[in-house]
A = this chain, B = another copy of it.
């Protein structure tokens, strides 16, 4: 049983990843926000078990979900629909069940950070994995939890433990992308290489000789003040470019306002 609008050819281009299974979700907004959270982290397969208000193209529910999905409507279009949780997981090899409170079942409990590395291994070796998320207020039934290999739960402040459905999906997705080598969208591309010690020491020599000319060092204090100043500047762990920029700053201050500058006949310009 699949939702209308399902386009299985689109699924084929996605890298294998766990299916997100929403059991009897009640609010369209939550379904949409789950889709957005999934798209953020490379999850694409949503399964819906008996949404409270149905799930047909053109229905108000699907329209509202598409609005909150903020561009992740393709996940909603591809979502598959099942009448029961048992049917939604029948083709899977490994299943996790999320719950925010203890259920008295003798079942292993994992956080997303613990669960996702071994799940990435399972998915990588061809297993199909799914994660069950329960109804907004009452979660999964004990029988649905008994379908799972392990319980997934989240480290939260015990004084305020209620996670929104989409936020639980978001954290699972976030740890999934971390476990599968997800990288931030950019790194410090613009950083020039670290300054060589020669560049840094040459800047020090320049500053210290100018400070000497300005009479900055009280008698007998030059050695200790120079050491302190070098310690401050070393701590910057400058790049080559930054060392040159700072040297330019000191030089400009030394020379004063350009309009007042007296040409120095010997120094190179």
Q: Which A residues fall within an 8 A CB radius of B?
A: 33, 36-37, 39-42, 70-72, 100-102, 104-109, 111, 113, 153-164, 167, 170-171, 174, 177-178, 182-192, 239, 241-242
Contacts and interface: CB of A to CB of B under 8 A. Distances in A.
Question: Helix, strand, loop or mixed for chain A's interface?
Answer: loop
A167 B37 contact: yes
Given A108-B188, A154-B184, A186-B102, A72 B160 contact: yes
B106 A40 contact: no
9 contacts: A37-B167, A39-B160, A70-B162, A106-B192, A109-B184, A109-B187, A153-B185, A155-B183, A170-B170
Q: How many copies does the complex hold?
A: 2
Contacts of A182: 155-157
Given A40-B156, A160-B72, A170-B170, A104 B184 contact: no
Contacts of A156: 40-41, 177, 182, 184-185
A198 to B, nearest CB: 21
A229 to B, nearest CB: 22
B39 A188 contact: no
Nearest to A166: B167
Contact of A184 (B42, B111, B167): B111
